[in-house]
Amino acid sequence: MKKMYYNNYICQKLGKIEKLKIKKSKSTELKKNEVRLKVLAIGLNYVDTLMIKGDYQYKNKLPFVPGTEACGIIVEENCNNIKLLNRKAIIFSKSGCFSEEAIINKSQLVLLEKNFSSIDGASFFSSALTAYVTLLEKAKIKKNNFILITGASGGVGQACVKLALHLKAKVICIVSNKKKAALLKELGVEKIIFINNDIKKEVMEFTNNEGTNIILDINGLLKEKNILGSLSWNGKYLIVGFTNNNITTIKTNYILIKSIQIFGVRAGEFLRRCSITKKKKVIRDIFSLYRKGVFKVERYKIKPFNKLIYELTKIRDRKSIGKIIIKTKYLDNV
């Protein structure tokens, strides 16, 4: 193999995003069942900030290239499948995407049609997978269910909101400011509650004193607010993530008294552990919903590769709305 060089971001020590370094790296040989991709676009996600900080449940071995979502073109394969060459693919991985080149096991790819948007390929799948697993596999959401969603203005939140509305559920969102409220109103959310309001009172008024059937806690709001008080009898609480390590506990007697069902959601791990038949069905369903417009990312910003650190800090500091996509030097040539 001819030695090639490419740029990537290296995390040498867990901690601040600002400590990431751009490094010129040399291409290495592929192992069995790996492919090499020329990365076109990178989707930034909140989980990336947690992995760099060391707060995520999965720890990458240092040093590592962060980044969990991207879209690229396969330029080399060691899978005994020459048909993979020049195929466009989504990368969903625990690391490796903050780079102009990525070596990925074929199991961590979703192949795309050649004319599939590279921007969409780098921006929708991770959030869509989380929304699908959370609402359909875990919560088993039904028509006319009430669902309360925290962190709804981010990428995962918007995907969950859009899927819930598509399934004819009644969506309630808790927000911290008017800008986020306006975005969610545009998506079709009927009930918006500002975080400093009486959440339980407003939920009960909206649900005719029944409470919400489902709480989807994307940002760990439970530590700050007793949102469990807004749940209906036999309601479901799903935790998807945390911000600033805001991990809390739930009293078991409270779970018993209200017959609460509690679920933890790790969508990527769900996909990795399910059968091949189930995995194909999930991916097929997600793309079907994408084609219907449910998972189409409407709001996004495209930034150059050298702005990745700055844009990731905005996600960490909760100052971003919608998806941020980083383009590499290869994007405009496809």
CATH number reported for the structural domain that contains residue 117 in this entry: 3.90.180.10
| Residue 292 within a domain | no
Regarding whether 119 and 143 lie in a shared domain, the answer is no
Regarding whether 80 and 183 lie in a shared domain, the answer is no
| Residue 70 within a domain | yes
Task: Report the number of distinct structural domains present in the chain.
Answer: 2
Q: What is the mean pLDDT of residues 186-215?
A: 97
How distant, in Å, are the alpha carbons of 93, 141, 176, 191, 216 from that of 271? 12, 19, 32, 32, 20
Regarding whether 144 and 255 lie in a shared domain, the answer is yes
Regarding whether 258 and 146 lie in a shared domain, the answer is yes
Residue 65 has pLDDT above 90, yes or no: yes
| Residue 276 within a domain | no
| Residue 324 within a domain | yes
- 271, 285 Cβ separation under 8 angstroms: no
Encoded tokens for 202: 């407003």
Q: CA-to-CA distance for 326 and 305, rounded, in angstroms?
A: 6
| Residue 275 within a domain | no
Residue 141 has pLDDT above 90, yes or no: yes
Regarding whether 260 and 135 lie in a shared domain, the answer is yes
Q: What was the pLDDT predicted at 241?
A: 79
Regarding whether 95 and 193 lie in a shared domain, the answer is no
Burial of 319 (0-12, 13-18, 19+ CB in 10 A): exposed
Q: What is the mean pLDDT of residues 167-192?
A: 96
By residue range, what is the domain housing residue 220? 126-269
Q: What was the pLDDT predicted at 319?
A: 83
For the chain, the average pLDDT equals: 94
Where residue 223 falls among pLDDT bands split at 50, 70, 90?
A: confident
Q: How does pLDDT run across 82-107, given as a tens digit for each residue?
A: 999 999 999 999 999 999 999 999 99
Q: What was the pLDDT predicted at 299?
A: 82
- 159, 131 Cβ separation under 8 angstroms: yes
Residue 71 has pLDDT above 80, yes or no: yes
Regarding whether 134 and 251 lie in a shared domain, the answer is yes
Residue 2 has pLDDT above 70, yes or no: no
Regarding whether 130 and 116 lie in a shared domain, the answer is no
Regarding whether 119 and 130 lie in a shared domain, the answer is no
| Residue 84 within a domain | yes
Q: How does pLDDT run across 257-314, given as a tens digit for each residue?
A: 999 999 999 999 999 999 999 999 999 999 999 999 999 998 889 999 999 999 999 9
Regarding whether 314 and 220 lie in a shared domain, the answer is no
Regarding whether 308 and 263 lie in a shared domain, the answer is no
Percent of the chain with pLDDT over 70: 98
Regarding whether 251 and 211 lie in a shared domain, the answer is yes
Q: What was the pLDDT predicted at 1?
A: 52
Residue 67 has pLDDT above 80, yes or no: yes
Beta carbons within 8 Å of 279's beta carbon, 6+ residues apart = 271
| Residue 138 within a domain | yes
